[in-house]
Amino acid sequence: MTSLDAGVIGTRIPEHSVEVERGRLAFFARATGQDDPIYTDRSAAEQAGHRDIPVPPTFLFCLDMERPNPSTFYADLGIDIRTILHGEQEFTYLQTAYAGDTLQFSTAVTDCYAKKAGALQFLVRTTEVTREGQAIATLRSTTVIRDPRA
């Protein structure tokens, strides 16, 4: 198992852009049990004061995973993806994103630390989401890397 140290802080993932597609928003809303029609019907969204179908909560994480080769980041750090677990996610929303928007994702490692004498390591990534240079959201994700020998 590769031991992470503070030297990984600041490591960046190549930036990427994603266009938010109306059909994918509707599919995600149904899959997550969102029954508010603003997430599936443009007319309902407009009647509620939105300019289009708004991005449902947590969907930005799905869009972030659309970067090319998302697991390459771990391999580049020497982390075996068979040892990773999802730790936690945190979302800070600054503006609403909508169907048809092109969003940019910029991610960096912002922290790493260990617990249980190094048997568990934690890697924290922070992603800034923007639309035409305007901040939309900040996503924070913690990945747990377990030592398979422990």
Strands, E, within the chain: which ranges? 12-19, 84-93, 102-115, 120-131, 134-146
- The reply to whether the predicted model has a pTM over 0.75 is yes
Buried b (16+ CB within 10 A) or exposed e, 30-45: eeeebeeebbbbbeeb
pLDDT, one tens digit for every residue, the chain (150 residues): 567 888 899 999 999 999 999 999 989 998 999 889 999 999 999 999 999 999 988 899 999 988 888 778 888 888 888 999 999 999 999 999 999 999 999 999 999 999 998 899 999 999 999 999 999 999 999 999 998 786
Task: Tell me how crowded residue 1 is: count the other CB atoms within 10 A of its CB.
Answer: 16
- Which tokens hold the place of 120? 């568990």
